[in-house]
């Protein structure tokens, strides 16, 4: 059971990393996610069902995700549309595309074919199925995270991070921000689609409605992570994002298991997730205000002391 | 170095808000020139700088820098030969990155690759460069923690790092307190002298514009109304400048800021 939560959390963490890239590193509110996560699931599923294999399925889901991000970034760059609107456009279009990929069906099952989670059992024969799933997912997530950390510590990754803070700096240093946005949003949606590809294999089916409300859930994970500790090192930022995703899934599990005691059903989860994000934002704001207040108090004390010193 | 021919800029053309910000500007700046630009608010100084840097396209006319026609080049491409410092100290650096990462970003212009170029050797080089502005001990601190003066000094250092052909200084000390403004201005003079840079500097301080540089340009309502250089400039006083303005425009130089002479 605990393994199940961890596996779900880890798969969800890859998506949260994608959200981290768009919302935090690029500072772009990209809603493509709601579409691209289902696209990733659909692509991986159809590749595996049609016998192309698990590896090809995952690589394809990542690449198609990158493509989704490129579409959003291009709409934003070319038409000067706010990225929010560009993302909504892509997301809406993707809903139809996803149904096409799934052969005009709302969902496609993976029960009769071998998935990554069947392979994990053979990789770790000493462990039970659930522990093997956990170990396999963990290895996968660590691999993906290390790659992401390395990328954002490279010159190119640094430039993308700098653009999120201040676009003028990038222009002044002779870089085209449009290209950095293409790379950033591409990578973000690549991660999100990859997470979709894993999720489809874990739950055993791909669903055209998979992506609904995913952005808000991912944001909730990112924000929970930010409460854990503060840092400006990318490796710690990604780590806390992963932990946030696991905690989020844990909270949702508790909600499912004990929610009935207070009359909460899974139907309420979207509402609760939204409230969770609002609470996180409120607490973060209160914290900043408190530290500002603290700084002001200290400053006044310092001035008083100085004046006392000069009077004496 | 810089050649501006018949440049006109019209904002919101064809609407009721149509505004001619620059009208048929012709300007030639030689290599090594240091040009101070003065003029009241709305006279077109900032628009002129935006045209040179490429922030917005010109409505008509041509601009060339170092013998190259840059009229249709976007801002990020012109950044290879034009270094620009803004009034707002937060514009030139990325607040959520460390000092050394900012320096590394500016070390080579243009698109970056997936490389890790911030080596120990380069850190040493940065430490030496940062020593004169007192930031060598704060290389791993986030730039957001620095004061406005320190940030502007860092911006200046970053802009000169890639040896641009010319510098555009857009009232870059106006947002700083007097002491920091002086420090940054001294640093500016030092870099310009050391690296023999060509520079254009917008300032509201008439006395400073008279004392510094070898050329002075006054703008009003989208025109260059005064262009004083060399011998003539060295004889200039604030009063004679104000009188000249009156003569040309048949009106008083009323802007309060323009009269600030300190």
Neighbours of B133 (CB within 10 A): 17
Contact residues for B181 (Cβ-Cβ < 8 A; gap 6+):
B149, B173, B174
A129 and A277 within one domain: no
**Same domain, yes or no: A158 and A297:** no
Residues B116, A174: C-beta atoms closer than 8 Å:
no
Are A176 and B117 in contact (CB < 8 Å)? no
Report the pLDDT value the prediction gives residue A86, as an integer from 0 to 100: 96
Q: Which of residues 154-173 of B touch A (CB under 8 A)?
A: 159
Which of A264, A282, A301 is the endpoint of a domain?
A264
A298 with A158, same domain?
A: no
3-state secondary structure of A205: strand
Query: How many CB atoms are located within 10 Å of the residue B96 CB?
Result: 17
Q: Is the dihedral of CA A120, A124, A128, A132 positive or negative?
A: negative
Residue B252 has pLDDT above 60, yes or no: no
Instruction: For chain A, list residues whose CB is within 8 angstroms of any CB belonging to chain B.
Output: 151, 153-159, 161-162, 164-166, 168-177, 179, 232
> How high is the pLDDT of residue B114?
87
Query: Is residue A233 domain-shared with residue A302, that is, in the same domain?
Result: no
Region A128-152 average pLDDT: 93
DSSP string over A20-87: IIIIIIS-----THHHHHHHHHHHHHHHHHTTS-HHHHHHHHHHHHHHHHHHHHHHHHHH---HHHHH
Model confidence pLDDT, tens digit, residues B176-204: 888 888 888 998 998 888 888 999 999 88
Asked whether residue A247 falls in the same domain as residue A278, the answer is no
All structural domains of chain B: 2-93+148-259 (3.40.50.300)
A230 and A251, same domain (yes or no) = yes
Same domain? For A139 and A221 the reply is yes
Note whether A164 and A302 are same-domain residues: no
3-state secondary structure of B59: coil
pLDDT (0 to 100) of residue B261: 40
Same domain, A148 and A85: yes
**DSSP state for residue B119 in the 8-state scheme:** -
Q: What's residue B251's pLDDT?
A: 61
Q: Which residues are CB-contacts of A218 (< 8 A; sequence separation ≥ 6)?
A: A12, A15, A16, A18, A19, A33, A192, A245
| Same domain (yes/no): A310, A200 | no
**Any A CB within 8 A of B147 CB:** no
Q: Are B168 and B159 in contact (CB under 8 A)?
A: no
* B112–A158 C-beta distance less than 8 A: yes
Torsion angle of C-alpha atoms B6, B11, B12, B14, degrees rounded to 10: -30
Q: Is the pTM of this model over 0.90?
A: no
CB within 8 Å: A154 and B116: yes
Q: Which residue of A has its CA nearest to B113?
A: A156
Structural domain containing residue A285:
265-312
Tell which wins on pLDDT, B228 or A303: B228
Domain of A20, CATH number, reads 1.10.3470
Domain boundary among A264, A282, A304: A264
């Amino acid at each position: 059971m605990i393994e199940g939560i961890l596996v779900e959390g880890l798969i969800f963490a890859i998506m949260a990393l994608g959200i981290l890239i768009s919302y935090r590193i690029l500072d772009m509110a990209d809603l493509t996610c709601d579409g691209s996560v289902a696209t990733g699931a659909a692509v991986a599923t159809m590749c595996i069902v049609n016998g192309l294999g698990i590896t090809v399925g995952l690589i394809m889901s990542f690449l198609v995700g990158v493509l989704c991000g490129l579409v959003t970034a291009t709409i934003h760059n070319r038409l000067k549309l706010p990225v929010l609107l560009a993302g909504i456009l892509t997301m809406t279009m993707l809903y139809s595309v996803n149904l096409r990929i799934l052969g005009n069906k709302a969902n496609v099952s993976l029960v009769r074919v071998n998935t990554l989670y069947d392979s994990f059992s053979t990789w770790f024969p000493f462990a039970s199925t659930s522990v093997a799933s956990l170990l396999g997912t963990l290895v996968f997530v660590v691999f993906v995270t290390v790659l992401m950390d390395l990328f954002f510590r490279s010159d190119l990754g640094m430039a993308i991070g700098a653009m999120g803070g201040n676009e003028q700096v990038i222009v002044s240093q002779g870089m085209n921000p449009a290209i950095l946005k293409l790379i950033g949003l591409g990578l973000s949606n690549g991660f999100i689609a990859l997470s979709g590809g894993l999720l489809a294999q874990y739950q055993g089916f791909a669903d055209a409605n998979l992506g609904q409300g995913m952005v808000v859930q991912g944001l909730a994970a990112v924000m929970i992570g930010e409460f854990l500790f503060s840092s400006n090192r990318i490796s710690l930022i990604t780590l806390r994002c992963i932990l946030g995703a696991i905690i989020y899934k844990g909270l949702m599990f508790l909600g499912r298991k004990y929610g009935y005691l207070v009359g909460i059903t899974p139907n309420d989860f979207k509402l609760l997730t939204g409230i969770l994000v609002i609470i996180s934002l409120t607490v973060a704001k209160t914290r900043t205000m408190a530290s500002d207040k603290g700084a002001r108090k200290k400053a006044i004390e310092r001035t008083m002391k100085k004046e006392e010193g000069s009077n004496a | 170095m810089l050649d501006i021919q018949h440049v006109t800029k019209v904002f919101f053309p064809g609407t009721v808000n149509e505004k001619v910000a620059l009208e048929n500007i012709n300007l030639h700046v030689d290599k090594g020139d240091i040009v101070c630009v003065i003029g009241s608010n709305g006279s077109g100084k900032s628009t002129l700088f935006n045209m040179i840097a490429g922030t917005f396209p010109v409505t008509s006319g041509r601009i060339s820098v170092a013998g190259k026609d840059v009229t249709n080049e976007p801002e990020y491409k012109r950044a290879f030969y034009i270094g620009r410092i803004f009034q707002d100290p937060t514009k030139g650096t990325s607040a959520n990155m460390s000092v050394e990462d900012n320096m590394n970003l500016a070390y080579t212009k243009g698109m970056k690759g997936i490389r890790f170029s911030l080596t120990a050797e380069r850190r040493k080089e940065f430490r030496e460069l940062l020593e004169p502005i007192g930031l060598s001990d704060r290389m791993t601190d986030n730039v957001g923690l620095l004061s406005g003066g320190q940030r502007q000094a860092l911006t200046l250092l970053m802009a000169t790092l890639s040896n641009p052909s010319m510098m555009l200084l857009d009232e870059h000390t106006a947002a700083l307190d007097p002491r920091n403004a002086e420090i940054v201005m001294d640093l500016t003079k030092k870099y310009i002298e050391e690296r023999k840079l060509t520079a254009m500097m917008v300032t509201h301080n008439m006395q400073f514009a008279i004392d510094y540089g070898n050329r002075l340009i006054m703008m009003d309502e989208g025109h260059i109304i005064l262009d004083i250089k060399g011998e003539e400039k060295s004889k200039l006083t604030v009063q004679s400048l104000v009188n000249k303005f009156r003569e040309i425009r048949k009106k008083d130089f009323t802007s309060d800021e323009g009269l600030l002479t300190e």
